[in-house]
Chain A
Amino acid sequence: MEDLGLKIFGAILTTIMAFTVGMTYGGIVRKLTARVQNRYGPPVYQNFLDLLKLQSKKTNIAHGFMGHMAPVWIIIAAVTVLMFIPILNGNLWFPNLSFHGDLIFLLYMMVFGSLGMALGAGQTGNPNSAIGVTRGLSQMVGYEIPFVLALVALMIQFQTTSVQDLTQVQHETGVWNAFANPFAFLAALLASLGMFRYSPFDIVGAPAELASGPVSEFGGKYLGTMMSGGAVFAFIKLTLYVHLFFGGAGNPDDSGILATLAGIGILLVKTFLLYMIPVFYGWINPRYRTEQAIRYFWGWPTALGIVGVLWAVFFN
């Protein structure tokens, strides 16, 4: 019974942390973007204010059942995926529901939110939403291929389909997977550019072209909920990458307060640095068209992914 209580407490803690970190990162990115453009920029907590404002709107309009459910769906998907991601390796405060094979499960679950979004956007009947959804799904087809190839390379190399095991391997050997299989790492890194949807891959929500695409009919609470879901998802992707390629964070043998805090610190540093890669890439790039984006992902990233798989098969 105590065990269950601890687990629930841990789950809530994980969710709150993911939400806070994701939102703050968004704010930091806005501030940094402003500084790059020689502006003063909004405060770092601006995203929280936006969220609070969206949630305190007086009227909120929905266009039918799926329009109602889409934000909820996104939140559900985000929290579910979060439960399967190890926040700190083997830490008792952040328990997770990992099992053997959860990497494959995660691959499926991560598109679940986008699916809800697609259904909800479809019901609003706004043509911009429909175009946005098609673009989003096409782009997903683009970046999923190098991403999956990179994960397959890791699975073959270490003969496991568990995120926990992959982290544990890095912890034991002391070699990060980014160096153990550099080709797979590069493929996954390039795929992450599309995953975070910064320029040049912001073709889904292009504000000037598509009036923010799939979310164009969602306002108020719906938009706010979607924003929180997106923030959690950003944290999820970053943490997953850190655990897969950068040796994870946390010490499995020590769950004391100090060790946990140190683990969180390391995780934040790693995720933030990783987050800066798509953001930096975005600052210096204008927007691609859909077919350019897909061609990009099916070019070098896919080739690197295939080399990564071959590397995993023949050199280990």
Chain B
Amino acid sequence: MENDKNSQKIVDYIGNFARKHSLFVLAYGTGCGAIEIPATMTSRYDAERFGIRGAATPRQADVLLITGYLSTKTLKRVIRVYEQMQEPKYVIGFGSCTVNGGMYYDSYNTINGLDQYIPVDVYINGCMPRPEAVISGFVKLQELIMAGKANNGEKYRENLEHYRSNQKKIIKNWKMPDYNW
């Protein structure tokens, strides 16, 4: 994590090294892309050699993997999950649908552009991306972490109002607490 002087201390390097090599992934299988996750995790592509492994709950997870289109109904759950994760937390948008809506760009029920609602560290494009692309996305995320540039959790908290107004534009009947830790 970069400090205010845009530099990192030795502690940060050690912490970042550990963070980089131990990514617990909460794979939020929203769209078709979820089918690539088993392929990425199992023997052919074996993401575990990079220290990437699945986490069962948002509390334990570091990376939120949004695999595909997000309907407005799912967005609500994604926001809850994202806010329950512990910092430092990262988001990977997976597939064209998260980038700009993909083939559902004109659907009345799926969002276009995930980063308007929660901050995204890495986008992986493709419809759907192959496991090689997924792994390269993770490697990119690792580079960002090592450089101390992946502090979107803080960014989210600081710009909470901006994100909230975007979210509330879609989720009209907002029944959640304003920040669910």
Are these two chains actual partners, yes or no?
yes
In contact, A220 and B86 (Cβ under 8 angstroms)? yes
Q: Which of A40, A41, A58, A212 contacts B56 (CB 8 A)?
A: A212
Q: A212-B56, A219-B59, A220-B86 are in contact. Are A42 and B49 (CB under 8 A)?
A: yes
In contact, B59 and A40 (Cβ under 8 angstroms)? no
- Asked if B3 CB lies within 8 Å of chain A CBs, one says no
- Asked if B43 CB lies within 8 Å of chain A CBs, one says yes
Give the interface segment out of B13-21, B28-36, B100-108, B116-124. Answer: B13-21
Q: Which of A207, A210, A219 contacts B86 (CB 8 A)?
A: A219
Interface 1/0 per residue, A50-62 and B, CB below 8 Å: 1011001111110
- Asked if B42 CB lies within 8 Å of chain A CBs, one says yes
What's the Cα separation between A219 and B54 when bound, in Å?
14
- Asked if B87 CB lies within 8 Å of chain A CBs, one says yes
Interface 1/0 per residue, A27-65 and B, CB below 8 Å: 000100010011111100010011011001111110000
Name the residue of chain B whose CB is nearest to the CB of A206. Answer: B56
In contact, B49 and A216 (Cβ under 8 angstroms)? no
> Cβ of B15: which chain A residues have Cβ within 8 Å of it?
52-53, 56
In contact, B57 and A41 (Cβ under 8 angstroms)? no
Interface 1/0 per residue, B138-173 and A, CB below 8 Å: 000000000000000100000000000000000000
Number of A residues, CB within 8 Å of B: 32
In contact, A46 and B22 (Cβ under 8 angstroms)? yes
In contact, A49 and B86 (Cβ under 8 angstroms)? no
In contact, A34 and B88 (Cβ under 8 angstroms)? no
Name the residue of chain A whose CB is nearest to the CB of B61. Answer: A219
Number of B residues, CB within 8 Å of A: 28
In contact, A53 and B22 (Cβ under 8 angstroms)? yes
- Asked if B115 CB lies within 8 Å of chain A CBs, one says no
Closest beta carbon of chain A to B105's beta carbon, Å: 34
Closest beta carbon of chain B to A135's beta carbon, Å: 15
Residue of A39, A50, A53, A215 with highest tally of chain B CB at under 10 A: A53
Q: Which of B14, B22, B88 contacts A58 (CB 8 A)?
A: B88
> Cβ of B136: which chain A residues have Cβ within 8 Å of it?
none
What's the Cα separation between A212 and B17 when bound, in Å?
26
In contact, A57 and B88 (Cβ under 8 angstroms)? yes
Q: Which of B1, B42, B56, B86 contacts A60 (CB 8 A)?
A: B86
> Cβ of B153: which chain A residues have Cβ within 8 Å of it?
58-59
In contact, B22 and A50 (Cβ under 8 angstroms)? yes
Interface 1/0 per residue, B36-60 and A, CB below 8 Å: 0000001100101101011011011
In contact, B14 and A61 (Cβ under 8 angstroms)? no
> Cβ of B56: which chain A residues have Cβ within 8 Å of it?
207-208, 210-212, 216
In contact, B86 and A39 (Cβ under 8 angstroms)? no
- Asked if A246 CB lies within 8 Å of chain B CBs, one says no
Q: A37-B43, A41-B48 are in contact. Are A53 and B19 (CB under 8 A)?
A: yes
Q: A37-B42, A39-B48 are in contact. Are A49 and B18 (CB under 8 A)?
A: yes
Q: A57-B86, A58-B86, A212-B60 are in contact. Are A207 and B54 (CB under 8 A)?
A: yes
In contact, B51 and A49 (Cβ under 8 angstroms)? yes
Closest beta carbon of chain B to A129's beta carbon, Å: 10
**Interface residues in A40-99 (C-beta closer than 8 Å to B):** 40-42, 46, 49-50, 52-53, 56-61
B binding-site residues for A, Cβ under 8 Å? 1, 14-15, 17-19, 21-22, 42-43, 46, 48-49, 51, 53-54, 56-57, 59-62, 85-88, 153, 181
9 A-B contacts (beta carbon < 8 Å) = A39-B43, A39-B49, A46-B51, A58-B1, A60-B86, A61-B86, A61-B181, A212-B57, A216-B56
